[in-house]
Amino acid sequence: MRRRPARNLLAGAAALVLALVGLTLATASASFAADADQSGNPLPHLADHAGLLTDAQAADLESELDRISDERGVDVVVVTVPTLGFRTATEFADDYFDYGPDPLDPTIPGSDPDAGYGRGPDRSGILFLVSTEGRDGAFSTTGETIKVYTDERLEGLQQDVAGYLHQDDWNGAFQAFAINVDRTYHNATRFRWEIVALVTLGAALIGGFGPVTVWRRQLKSVRPAANARDYLETSSLVLTSQNEVLVSQNTVVVSTQTSSGGGGSSTHFGSSGRSHGGSSFKF
């Protein structure tokens, strides 16, 4: 009978911890869900002003871009135009993302900074621009997508689409773009849940067991002597001989360039003042 309150106490403590861990994970879950559910603006994710796709290809691609955009919580956009006008490919892609299409001439960027693409407070997203006149291509990344698409990953993306563009396989290039974005986001975010769960569990174990283990050790002070160094007469030490030989030498050459998709992302500013990442190329 005397132990029952203690058991209840322990059960209560265990339940409290489980509840707290559950609450933490639920908060994390809600946070991720909120990321993914941030609905975008009504602008279409495919703007084929150069008319490079058939209706069926366009419908198929747009549906795929909509799906990826909603699942990843970023705007994934493909824009084709016949000409860049006075802008460079990078400027055009940045402006189109920031301002959206001009209401009167949708083949050029508009001027309303609130009418552009991008989801979340940092307006995350990626835009793939193709201009047929000068065979220009450009990627523009914004917000969180700048960090996801490092320079190295942008180079990989460019290589994915370059082969199709050379052969004027527009649909192939845009599909490759969509696949690359989907896969890259999957790889960049797939461990989020696991990381949070592991960090939470690890912190619980270390934060719980660490102090109580130290406190438990404080209760024990009976330990057999490990050695007799306390009784060494230091003034008696006489070094009579010493020698030292090199027994092995080993050199390893390590490349300082990383190959894990990490590294930094180069950025620049668009005409709106917003920071962008990305790259441009000829095909």
Partner 1 sequence: MAQALDYKCPQCGGNLVYSAEVGLMVCDNCGSRFDPREFQAQPQPPDPAASASAAGAPPQGAPEPVPGETAQAAAAAWPPAQFDQYTCRSCGAVVVAAATEAAGTCPYCRSPIVITQQLEGELAPDLVIPFQTTRDQAVAALTKLYGKKRLLPKVFSAQNFVDEVKGVYVPFWLFDYDIHLIEHYTATDVSTVHMGSRRHITTRKYAADRAGDARFLGIPVDGSVNMPDAIMESVEPFDLTQAVPFEPSYLPGFLAERYDVDSSQAAARAHDRLIKSAGTIFQDTVTGHERVASAGAEVFIKQTRLHYALLPVWMLTTFWRGQRFTFAMNGQTGRMIGDLPLDRQAYWRWFFGLAGASAVVAGLVATLAVSL
Question: Does 224 engage in binding with partner 1 (CB under 8 A)?
Answer: yes
Contact pick of 33, 105, 201, 267 for partner 1 (by CB under 8 A): 201
Question: Does 24 engage in binding with partner 1 (CB under 8 A)?
Answer: yes
Stretch that binds partner 1, among 98-106, 175-183, 227-235, 264-272 (CB under 8 A): 227-235
CB of 216 to partner 1, least distance (A): 6
Question: Does 183 engage in binding with partner 1 (CB under 8 A)?
Answer: no
Question: Does 244 engage in binding with partner 1 (CB under 8 A)?
Answer: yes
CB of 35 to partner 1, least distance (A): 7
Question: Does 249 engage in binding with partner 1 (CB under 8 A)?
Answer: yes
Residue 165's SS3 state is helix
Dist. CA 233–CA 31, nearest whole Å: 65
Report the C-alpha dihedral over residues 130, 136, 139, 142, rounded to 10 degrees. Answer: -90
Q: State the number of CA atoms in the 13 A half-sphere of 263 facing the CB.
A: 15
CB of 116 to partner 1, least distance (A): 22
Site string for partner 1, 77-106 (x = CB under 8 A): ------------------------------
Dist. CA 214–CA 202, nearest whole Å: 18
Contact pick of 1, 55, 229, 260 for partner 1 (by CB under 8 A): 229
Per-residue DSSP letter, 7: H
51's CB contacts (< 8 A; 6+ apart) are 80
How many residues belong to the chain? 283
